[in-house]
Structures are given as structure tokens and as C-alpha cells.
Amino acid sequence: MTDLNEILGQLEHVKSVPGGWIARCPSHDDRNPSLSIGQGEGGRILLHCHAGCKTDNVCVALGLKTSHLMNNQPYQKQKAKKYPPQERSALIAGLSRSKGGPLGGAWSYCDTAGVEVMQILRFDLPGDEKVCVPIRHTGAGWVSEKPKTADGLPLYRVGELSVSTAGAVFVCEGEKCVDAARNLGVIALTSAFGSESATKSDWRPLAGREVVVLADQDEAGSGYARDVAGVLLKLTPPAKVRIVNLAHPDGETPSGFDVVDWIDAQDARAPDDLRDDLFRLAAAAPIERRPPIAKLVCMDSIQEREVNWLWPNRIASGKVNALLGDPGCGKSMLTMDLAARVSSGGEWPDGTGRCRRGSVILMSAEDDPEDTIKPRLLKAGADCSRIHILPTLVRDGREQSVTLRDLDAIRDALETVGDARLLVIDPINNYVAGVDAHKDAEVRQLLTPLVQLAAEFDVAVVIVTHLNKGGGTNAVYRAMGSLAFVALSRTAWLFSKDPDSKSRRTLVAVKTNITADQNGLACSIVDGAIHWETGSVEMTASETLVANEIPRTKTGAAIPWLKTLLSDGPLPQTEIEAAGAKSGLSPWSIRKARENLKIVTSKDGFSGPWTWALPS
């Protein structure tokens, strides 16, 4: 059985880490500690060389057998020896004997008022090892312990910040490096107790200051620089932090290279020149960014509320809604019909009640206000005093086109109008401001502020987009450009021509994330105005897209066929569609014929089939 302390005592460069220790492996020429030491169940000693040395070889190098690692007593951390208050020289002598090496350096830590809080003593041990010990003065003498501070330990040389309240402050790892940097004529600081203790010091005196961290060139040095930057960026106000990695002037930078080594490698150049070099390196280093902070909201704190609708179950207030359709199908005319009803407080065409009256803002890139937009609004019965267009903005005294990047201008328009209930952007692709409309991430980044603006003003935003030419019957993927145009919209509708009627149009749902699926509606465009039909359209968006790719003669043939089939009485829908398939008629053609003939549909019980019958 071998004591863990004996093994740790034989190793070089031992450092405590979470879960155990690391040290130089004695089985190979190990410059960077690669041996992990820990203790498992039953006190078993665990050795693992990350460079690949076998445990047997490590044991041989330590003069042990593998069996010596088994059945050991759990490691008990040795308590530091307590010294009673005494003279400083006597305390240092006692510490030197107990640590096993002479005093190698002493550094005084004072608070911002210049009052000494503690001293750090460094004892040099055999094998280039060193150990640092804090001491402080009490009323009865000197004791070996850390001071008890509520806000963390003071920084080394923190009092020098009062000498200059502006300009860069350099942070080094270790007091020796601070003293070397100060000799160049810069303000330099560090925290106590090495690279793993940065968060235990009080960094608040550096709030709002410009700070340059001179990182030691090893893993510990990089970690210290990151820790210091992380603390400084969370101050109020945050510090402006840069991290500088000093390099050897000859090009090959050894591990552990620090500011002392950098100065020594400069061939005795003048301190002023080296100071200027430090500032040039600092200016070239990037400014560190504050890491993002998660903002969590507990669901228990959220007040539940119902969706607010502009047009019940079709166009939502405070949301983005999409309107899709082929060029020339009448999408813009539909938006004029919506605007007219909002401005006048008119009835919705599906019988869901009267619209609450409000103002409308139109962003229209394709239609002329004088000869197209206003004539259409007047024919639709709009109150034009409540409808406004937003064609341009004024920036630096010059008029420019509005884009979705000009969210402040859109916000200003909403605030100026005051009671806007509808914002139409037609077509959305004309307002993407240099963004690639086919790249999902770019479109989402552009539209997300618009989504937030809609919610802030509780305004229904309707974005209009054309269908792409790619084909396909899934309407979600048919919007021109990125899928994000439809994905970020809470409702999306397809407005399309009826292939059997030149003037007839259908409005069917593409997606309705926040309400149950809704039947479609039909209308006709006559003399520049929309005339809505009573009743609903039961076709889906996919069926509508298929319909526009099927010759109209198919529907014409389906009408007399269906009338003849049902002349002897009602039939189940499945039987009708199966008979139609044998006759070369698609389900869409048969359903169009059903609408034309005003077929009566009914369901036989809860789980029975749908049945079709000719009207009486």
C-alpha cells in the first residue's frame, strides 16, 4: 500500500485541478504536465498519462508496482500549519522551514486607499517549484492567512489607478510580470494566487476602463486571460478589454513565455520603445465582446390571453400574416378590399362580424397611388382619410426608398398614425434591402424585428409574395424566396384563379398556426372590385395548386358525369372518387363539380362515411 502524498511528492509541477491533480509524467520527457492523478473507490490511486504512457511504465518510473495503487486509504488533505501572531521575520523563517525552501520574493497588496491588506510571499523549492503564501498583520503581529474581505481580494498595485484615470491599464499574470511592465512606464495590475484565482479578486476599480491583458503563452495563461476578460466585461460599466499574446521577436515562442521573457528578448532596447510596442500591439488586438446572457422567463409569470384577430380566424392582429399568389391573380386588389373594410369598419365577407374601425398603412412597390391604388380603394368603399401610403423616408435631407432595414421609419409611421390596425407590405421581396431572399437565416434576421414591431403595436401585418415557378403542390414551399416568409407568419393564405372561371378567385388556407383549420372563400373580380360569394370553399391549398395545372376541360367533363352518377340517389364520397378515377377524373375535378352542382354533403353518424346527394 502506497500513500498518495508520497506519490505526489515524487512528481514535478504538481497542480490541483477539479477531481484530482496533474503533473509531469516521469515515464517520458514531459514538458507540459500530462499525467492525471486521482483516487477512486476504496482509496485506489488512479494514474493516467494523456501522452500514451502505460500505467505499468509510470509505476516503474516511480519505483512502484501496479499493486501498490490498490486498497489505499482515502486521501486526506493536509491542514496548513497554523502559526501564532509573531514578528514578520520569525513567521517567514518558520514558513521557509515548513515549505522546504528560501524566501524568493514578497509583494504587498494594498486597497484603493493605499492601506496594506496582505503580503504574498514566494518560497523557491527544489526542482524549480515554488509556493506562494499570504500573510497579514493583526494587532498582535503577523499571521499566515488570507484577509477576510466581502468583495474579494485587492489587486496588486491597484492604488496606482488613481495616478491616471484615463489610458490603458495592463493586466499581467503574477507580481513579477507586473513589476517588469511598470518599469516600462505603464500602469500594470494582477490578481493574487495565480492563474486559477482571477475570480477571487475585486476587479471593480477597472469598471469602464480600457484594459489590456498580457497573456502568458501556455494553457494556464490563456485561461487566466479569458477569466479576467469575462469578469471585466460583466462590470458596470463594462471595461473595454483586449487580449495581447506576446511573441518572441525571433519567431519561435516557447511555452510559458510572458512579459518578463518578452522584455529580456528585446536586446536591451529602451523602455520607451518597448512601451510604444506594447501600445501598438494593444491597438491591433481585437476588442473582446461580452458573452451573451440568457434571459429566462418563467411560464408561471406569463399572463395567458387569447389571440387578437383583425379578421376572425383569418388575419391576426399583432402578428405577421402572409398572402401568396401568382402575379396578376389579384392579390393587391384583395389587400385593397381588406384596407377598405378596416378603414370603414365594414362587415367581413364570411359573416364573422364587423371590423373594428382603424387606420391602414400601405407599402406598395408595384402599383401607382394615383391611377391604381386610390381608384381601387374608392370602388371598395374605403374611407381614404384613414389610409396612408409609405413610399419613402427622409434621411439627411434626402428622400430614399423604404426597406425593412428602416424599422425606425416604419415605427415612426405607426406612431404618427396612432390607430393603425393593418400594415400591408406588397410585395415583401421588394423591401428586403440587399438581403438574399433565398437564404433562410438572412430573411429570418430581417423579419424578426418586424414580428416584434407587429406585437408591440398590435397591428396586423400582411406580407404579399408571389409564388415561385418551381411547381409542387405543398403551398408552404411555393412562396418566392426563403421558406422563412411563410414560417415566420402565423397565418398564410393562397389567393388564386379558378381555372374554370376567368373572374373567379379562391382564398384558401396555407397554414393557420394559431387557430383551427378554416374553410376557404371565393370571390369574383368584376370592374376593378371584389365581390364575395356566400358559403365556403372546401378545397385545400394543395388541391388548388393542382387544379391550376389541370386543363379546365376536366372539370367541365366532371359536372355532367357527377350529375348522372347521383341521379339515382346519394352515394358515399369514397365510392364517387373511385368511380371518377376509373373515368380519368381527379378528386379535384370531382370536388369542383360538386361545388358547381351545389351538391349536399352529409355524414352518416360519428364514424360513418360522407355521402353526396343532388340538391332537391
Could you tell me which residues are beta bridge partners of residue 520? 537
Which grid cell is 180? Answer: 517588469
Helix, strand, coil shares of the chain, percent, nearest 5, are 30, 25, 40
Query: Could you report the per-residue pLDDT of 528-585, keeping only the tens digit for each?
Result: 899 999 989 888 888 888 777 655 445 667 888 888 888 888 998 889 988 888 888 8
Nearest residue to 429 via CA among 392, 479, 502:
479
Residue 75 confidence (pLDDT): 46
Query: Could you report the per-residue pLDDT of 281-318, keeping only the tens digit for each?
Result: 999 999 999 877 888 999 999 999 999 999 999 999 99
Mean pLDDT, rounded, for 187-199? 91
Res. 83: pLDDT tops 70:
no
The CA distance from 529 to 227, in Å, is 67
Percent of the chain with pLDDT over 70: 95
- Of 23-27, 256-260, 262-266, 378-382, which range is least confident? 23-27
Mean pLDDT (the chain) is 88
Query: Could you report the per-residue pLDDT of 436-483, keeping only the tens digit for each?
Result: 888 999 999 999 999 999 999 999 999 999 998 776 778 888 888 889
User: What CA–CA distances, in Å, run from 518 to 314, 510, 611?
Assistant: 8, 10, 21
What's the pLDDT band for 169 if we cut at 50, 70, 90?
A: very high
Residue 99 confidence (pLDDT): 80
Res. 492: pLDDT tops 70:
yes
Task: Confirm if 403 and 396 have CB atoms less than 8 A apart.
Answer: no
- The CB-side HSE value for 354 (13 A sphere, CA atoms) comes to 7
User: What CA–CA distances, in Å, run from 141 to 84, 85, 86, 165?
Assistant: 8, 5, 5, 36
| Greatest mean pLDDT among 82-96, 108-122, 335-349, 497-511 | 335-349
Helices (H), 130-217: 175-182
Nearest residue to 37 via CA among 63, 60, 14, 3:
14
Residue 546 confidence (pLDDT): 76
Residue 476 confidence (pLDDT): 87
Expressed in angstroms, the distance from the first to the final Cα of the chain is: 101
Res. 42: pLDDT tops 70:
no
The CA distance from 519 to 351, in Å, is 13
